[in-house]
Chains A and B, each alone.
Chain A
């Protein structure tokens, strides 16, 4: 099966090269048969990558310990669940997995548009094939997952060998989220290839109008959704497994995943200005380019060892390939832009500073500044070493200081943006739209002050969260009220109807609401506290309203590991509540240990108990308990963000012009006589 997999990968490489070279020839000659054959070569490339991926999974499931990658990342006792995850647990397999996900996107694009956009698709196909060639080069010639295990014999000749069992999967990865977090994150990274291919293709083809934007909107949203889910699942994994009581440590690899998310978010907003007003064409193209570049840069950071991280893959020379690829992409993007920049001439014209357009400009500015701050902080240790010879580390305190104000500004704009009209917002409209939300937000702030809320950032965050939630709530309320007046349906049914009539706008609002929940959760971090103690049986530990009593200690043998559990009884106000079982796992095949944190989670707070091991001084179990307020809101917010994106991806049930007879007064008529009854103060769409 390894030979089959290797051959499939090699053939995939050949097909991708043909799709690329033949694609260029097809663009020049415009020969229909050549165009068709290169598209089919693209499809064949994807099919062959699927076969190679299945082959590697087969090697894991058949415990083929003659393959180096299988030996390094699996063992006989590893559960089926984690044998799937073993595919992406190391450098070689994760690169194949990257190719696999890219192939899923590429084949979807090629099949979706097989008979459409004939002028553009050959260019898009060439760009996608170019990206595939790079990753297939790595899969075939730099980091092949199908390398046989070999050891030097007495004569110095390498002999192929097979081991009885493998080294097993890294304990940190043996957690359910590791089966879903990397696929989500990688789907985000690879997904941004599609808008990149369309943007570069449209630029090279001088494809007219905003069609490439319409074509890629869904693909960008899908990639963005996966990236968001991947980031939050990664944060949850860190929270539940690493046992340090937090979910985001500003680790370089975490930061790498955030960078394309920030520029991708900026693109999803600024693209609306191009769709609606024909503005910011150059900016949008470069935002897509940068997002893709940051995906590759993030992969480079994770895999090259240039920055130290607990999440990084082993240091290797693969970084040079990524640097080369980055330089190549930048060159191609600049070349294409310089050659065809006249094609990107925008119809930039602004009626008023107080408008949706301005808010999007500031939104983009804040997102880009956040991106620059995270990137410069992440790379600062490298730069400081280059310039001064000393590697100066940059930890969480720096990132928090720099990014918290930026995040709050962004949260403010999340509330302001949807309330502003396109082109111009009148003073009357400002008063009507901002009065209640601002009042409710300030009232919440005052109540918080009265009840002793003294953390300034959390206090501001609370006010802004209430403000944004009120704006979103009022938007739903106003729209649903109009529908209810016409249809007589219940308010909830009217709200659903409203959402389904304009999924993009109201899906966007749901995403904003999800972000509010995430920010509420983040604000809670200011009030985290923890206690650590060496505990004898019967000893108690107090944290907040909870009393933890160490009731015992047991050892539970499992198939792949032995769990040492601490039995902790939790009392609240002296009343027994539950038992928690934080554990430490000793794996059979590795010297590394894993921790399983016990978490009692409510919307108010998380009681988070870690058993990191026994104290070297007393040999007693050490119990580390944290009380982390509001953390659950982050995971809930993440789910709402995904739900909102899914809603935004749905087609509209009916045209929005159905609202034309509504009683809601139109805020800003666009062009008298053309669309006067339609409200122009559109939401987030």
Chain B
């Protein structure tokens, strides 16, 4: 039995432990492309709902000139903030791929985190409250004087419920 367990454990270890060998870390080979990186922070405004660098429409009336503009700005040495301002002035706030972390847009970022914190607090509170409640009396084996048939039946039903499926 111990041998079988060891074989199974070693097989599992070998299977999962060597899994990463089959996954080539392509990221290491990928060239850094500044335009791609910055372009990924804006949306294409053609209606495809893709980031600027993700729009795959050939001759897209939006992404093609936007990418040209972006390349030009990067060639001039414009900062990312300046490029953002330029695009927002030209296309409006719908050009953001993610809401800026200022003003009203901050709500989009903060809200899920607040929900997580409040929710976690609530869960902890609920667990603490439930733990304080007295545990229901357990029926002694074989029953005992003072334990009604109904209580015993309830206990049996509970045990059956909790061990079924």
Contact = CB atoms under 8 A, between A and B. Distances in A.
Interface of A: 242-246, 249, 251, 275-277, 279, 308-310, 347-353, 358, 361-362, 365, 368-369, 372-373, 376-377, 380-381, 383-384, 387-388, 390-398, 401-402, 406, 422, 436, 439-441, 443-444, 447-448, 451-455, 462, 466, 469-470, 473-474, 477, 481, 502, 504-505, 524, 526-529, 544, 603-605, 610, 612-616, 622, 624, 627, 629-630, 652, 655-657, 670-675, 678, 680, 682, 685
B25 A349 contact: no
A469 B12 CA distance: 10
B75 interface: no
Contacts of B142: 673
B23 interface: yes
Contacts of B29: 529, 544
A527 B108 contact: no
B123 A682 contact: no
A452 B164 contact: no
Given A443-B17, A616-B59, A629-B26, A275 B161 contact: yes
B149 interface: no
Contacts of A481: 4-5
Contacts of B97: 393, 395-398
A452 B107 CA distance: 37
B8 interface: yes
Contacts of B156: 674
Given A358-B127, A447-B18, A372 B115 contact: yes
A395 B47 contact: no
A391 B93 contact: yes
A677 B22 CA distance: 44
Contact of B24 (A358, A380, A398, A629): A629
Nearest to B134: A349
Given A351-B131, A351-B135, 10 more contacts: A361-B126, A365-B122, A384-B99, A395-B50, A447-B17, A451-B25, A453-B23, A473-B12, A627-B26, A673-B141
Interface string B40-66: 110100011111001111110000000
B51 A422 contact: no
Contact of B55 (A244, A462, A685): A244
8 contacts: A372-B111, A376-B108, A393-B95, A395-B43, A397-B51, A451-B25, A454-B28, A671-B158
For the complex of A and B, 4 pairs with smallest distance between CB atoms: A673-B141, A398-B98, A448-B20, A350-B130
A190 to B, nearest CB: 26
A613 B38 CA distance: 26
A439 B138 CA distance: 38
Chain A contact residues, majority secondary structure? mixed
A100 B115 CA distance: 38
A462 B16 CA distance: 10
Interface string B12-39: 1100111111111111111000000000
A462 B40 contact: no
A394 B108 contact: yes
A555 to B, nearest CB: 17
A369 B94 contact: no
A383 B161 CA distance: 47
Nearest to A473: B12
Contacts of B51: 395-397
B21 to A, nearest CB: 6
A640 to B, nearest CB: 16
B58 A614 contact: yes
A585 B4 CA distance: 58
B41 A310 contact: no
Contact of A368 (B13, B93, B119, B165): B119
Given A395-B43, A670-B162, A470 B16 contact: yes
Contacts of B134: 349
A578 B111 CA distance: 50
A77 B47 CA distance: 30
B126 A277 contact: no
A325 to B, nearest CB: 26
Nearest to B100: A392
A626 B160 CA distance: 55
Given A243-B56, A310-B47, A348-B133, A671 B155 contact: yes
A544 B26 CA distance: 8
B20 A349 contact: no
A249 B51 CA distance: 9
A256 B51 CA distance: 20
Nearest to A242: B56
B147 to A, nearest CB: 12
B54 A361 contact: no
B23 to A, nearest CB: 7
B93 A612 contact: no
A397 B12 contact: no
Interface string B95-122: 1111110011101110110011001101
B58 A622 contact: yes
Nearest to A449: B20
Given A349-B130, A393-B93, A670-B159, A685 B105 contact: no
